Amino acid sequence: MRIATWNVNSITARLPRLLAWLESSGTDVLCIQETKTTEEAFPADALAELGYESAVRATGRWNGVAIVSRAGLDDVVGGLPGGPEYDGVEEPRAISATCGPVRVWSVYVPNGREVGHPHFAYKLQWLKALRDAVADDAAGGRPFAVLGDYNIAPHDTDVWDPTAFIGATHVTPEEREALAALRATGLDDVVPRPLKYDQPFTYWDYRQLGFPKNRGMRIDLVYGNDPFRAAVSDAYVDREERKGKGASDHAPVVTDLTV
């Protein structure tokens, strides 16, 4: 079973590449972030033609998450139970579903904007709610994983130049402590380090030749519980999908399971 996560940075703009990638990669379940569309406009019909069911949590604008699966799609929960609001709005940043023998969450963790900004406090509150929401599944006996754009680089080696991020979000002790608290529920990173590349980044800014110069960050993560990690036969960043015209600024992260 192949499960992946991908921040597509607008599913409308990325649809041809997404459909081609699903066909070529043989992915069974894909967790999608930053759909930038409404649930009504989500391309479920185009995905259905390839054999995928869709579960979507989206309101347009800048957020939106989805799970598409050809391995079953049951017990869908849209949203983050107990999650905080920002400016009085519950942003569409989480969705979970059972896909065959595995339960997965697709998450798009708030960016945080700037240290000290209200959105940074919201990010930490959101991560605490995520930890509380997944704790039972993380400690359970069924393969379970939280996949998505975490907007946190777990280690200094997960950014191209740690000195360039001093004082910025994504690398602060508070964010990394929140990530450690999530791992403490029984989850851990399933992507082996090091990978094929010395710096297996998943995101590169469009500006200033970020990708050609490999000035990236590893912020798209797959955190699985013990049964999930025990079933992992391979895991990698599909860096090739970041290349070329019309690419997202994120690359897919792929995990193969023997389930």
Per-residue model confidence as pLDDT tens digits over 78-117: 999 999 999 999 999 999 999 999 999 999 999 999 999 9
Question: Active-site residue 234, yes or no?
Answer: no
Give the pLDDT mean for 162-181: 97
Task: Tell me the whole-structure pTM to 2 decimals.
Answer: 0.96
Is 155 one of the annotated active-site residues of the chain? no
Which tokens belong to 251? 């690359």
pLDDT for 259 equals: 92
pLDDT recorded at residue 198? 57
Specify the pLDDT at position 193. 59
Is cis: bond before 194, omega within 30 of 0?
Answer: yes
- When pLDDT is averaged across residues 208-223 and rounded to a whole number, the result is 94
pLDDT over 80 at 196, yes or no: no
Is the pLDDT at 194 greater than 70? The verdict is no
Q: Which of 149, 158, 220, 256 is catalytic?
A: 149
Are β-strands 188-189 and 220-224 bridged in parallel, bridged antiparallel, or unpaired? antiparallel
Kindly name the residue from 108, 122, 150, 236 that is annotated as catalytic: 108
Q: Return all residues near 132 (Cβ < 8 A) that are at least 6 apart.
A: 82
Please tell me the distance from the alpha carbon of residue 48 to that of residue 132, in angstroms, as a whole number. 33
9 contacts 34 by C-beta, under 8 angstroms: yes
pLDDT single digits (tens) 58-88 = 998 889 999 999 999 999 999 999 999 999 9
- Does the annotation count 149 as an active-site position? yes
Q: What is the set of domains in the chain, with CATH numbers?
A: 2-257 (3.60.10.10)
